[in-house]
Amino acid sequence: MLSQKARYALRAMIELAREDGQVTAGELSVRADAPRKFLEAILLSLAREGLVVSRRGKFGGYLLGRAASEISFAEVIRLVDGPLALAPCVSRTAFRRCEDCRDLAACTLREALLKARDATAQVLEGYSLADAVAGDGAELLGA
């Protein structure tokens, strides 16, 4: 399930993708319908990973760190929420055996979970911020 934190991050990133220049944290907070302090913490973690650039000062604000077409929903979600997989045993980025797993090869759940992970990753990796701006992907975020 997509966390509220990931929803705020995606909404803010889409708002940045709509702009040619930078946007203040206060303005992003209003546009993304997110609490300002919480959004600033999210933006800080996105800045550490290079997805956004932060400019300080009187005329400061935030802008995308790369072209909107180069930032996928999957990348943002992974940075905020972690792996897309429903279980750690099917994660590509954070694989580990499930605590109650007796035999990974004989697990009757794993095949379905792998298919769900692959389908989810295919959609989210193939959908960029630019796609959201062009199609106004608000329905994907529950806005």
Structural domain boundaries of the chain? 1-70+129-143, 72-127
CATH top class, domain 1-70+129-143 = mainly alpha
pLDDT in tens, 42-59: 999 999 999 999 988 777
pLDDT in tens, 97-121: 777 877 777 788 888 989 999 999 9
Instruction: Round to whole Å and give the CA distance between 70 and 83.
Output: 19
Residue with tokens 């905020």: 80
Asked if 97 and 107 touch (Cβ cutoff 8 Å), the reply is: no
Residue with tokens 């959201």: 132
pLDDT in tens, 62-100: 999 999 999 999 999 999 999 888 888 888 878 777 778
Contacts of 112 (CB under 8 A, 6+ apart): none
Name the nearest CA neighbour of 40 among 66, 57, 61, 22.
61
